[in-house]
Amino acid sequence: MKNLKKRAYFIVNEHAVLGLPMRLTVSLVIGTVALIAILSYITNPCLFPERMIVSLTPIVTALPGSEPENVTFTVYVNETDGHPLSGASVIIKGLGGAGSGVSDDNGKVLIQIQVQLESGVYEGYLDISVKAACHEPFEHQDMIKVVKTS
């Protein structure tokens, strides 16, 4: 028998060979952009978060001595138009204590924390942090002043 050589014939198309990697690259870029858009919407459903107004009482608290004291703060969280903001998480911390709460339907939170000024220290400060869905976080260091009266 004769040696039969099998020949394979391929259709050569220069445009397909060059176009395939380009199409894959464009598909990957578009897919990546779409995936990033979807994930960013899932993690933060609000594209334009609003601001909020945070007020509290008392701003200045007096402690009678160096012993730890329980202090209650009333925090109000409102929209910029004045409507109460419910469901906002509020944290007050500093001077050895911390407390947290969630605003009610009236935008009000009562937070009680135990604070202490060390011996020889006559004033200190507490920090406040407020976060709510679709709103810019509110963080203020040294917002509450604590003073020793004796």
Lowest mean pLDDT among 7-11, 24-28, 91-95: 7-11
**What's the angle, vertex CA 64, arms to CA 61 and CA 68, rounded to 5?**
85
Q: Which residue type sits at 17?
A: V
CATH code at 52-148: 2.60.40.10
Q: Which residue type sits at 43?
A: T
CA distance linking residue 85 with residue 53, whole number of Å:
9
Give the start-to-end residue ranges of the domains of the chain: 52-148
Beta strands 69-79; 108-115: pairing state: antiparallel
**Residue 93 neighbours by CB distance under 10 Å:** 15
Whether the CB-CB separation of 129 and 137 falls below 8 Å is answered with yes
CA distance linking residue 12 with residue 71, whole number of Å:
83
Residue pLDDT, tens place only, 72-117: 999 999 999 999 999 999 999 999 899 999 999 999 999 999 998 8
Between 67 and 131, where is the model more confident?
Answer: 131
> What stretches of the chain adopt beta strand conformation (E)?
52-57, 60-63, 69-79, 89-94, 97-102, 108-115, 123-131, 138-148
